Amino acid sequence: MNKMDVIIKDVINPDEIMKFEEKYKKEEAMGCICPETQFEYAWCLVRSPYADDWKTGFELLKKLYDIGDDHAKRDYLYYMAIAKFKMKKYDDALEYCQAILKVQPQNHQVKQLKAYIESKMKKEGLLGMAVIGGAGLVLGIGAAALAAIAVASKK
């Protein structure tokens, strides 16, 4: 497993999510959520096994992005890209990577994530084409069989 596989496939223990959720909700009830708390909770949600959590984590990261400084924004974009990747919104994930690379063209971690996303898109694209090709083959065989039956029944 390569480094990006480890990051993308990392699944957090539900107890950890609950711990960070409790901290987040406590701060929310007090009316002042610390950005670090929101980030920790969002990152836990992105590492959850559940797609709904990925969406919630993404939304929390987006809110942080909207108020964060430039350095923090790059971090938020990176984790937003991971969330979008997990949601299979590859084009969005690539956009976030591109946004970081415009500012930090040598960012090795983002380059790796971008290549990983592109590789996944290529694999799924080829897989999609294979499914379409297989369906066409089945239809072609079915049509040939029907034609053979029609010829045989005329005799």
Average pLDDT over residues 129-148: 51
pLDDT reading at 29 higher than 80: yes
Q: What is the pLDDT of residue 153?
A: 57
Condensed to tens digits (0 to 9), the pLDDT of residues 63-115 reads 999 998 888 999 999 999 999 999 999 999 999 999 999 999 999 999 999 99
Is residue 137 in a domain?
Answer: no
140 pLDDT band (50/70/90 cuts)?
low
Alpha-carbon span 119 to 126, nearest angstrom: 11
Is residue 142 in a domain?
Answer: no
**Contact between 38 and 60 (Cβ < 8 Å):** yes
Alpha-carbon span 122 to 88, nearest angstrom: 13
Is residue 153 in a domain?
Answer: no
Q: Tell me which H or E stretch contains 89.
A: none
Is residue 134 in a domain?
Answer: no
CATH number at residue 35: 1.25.40.10
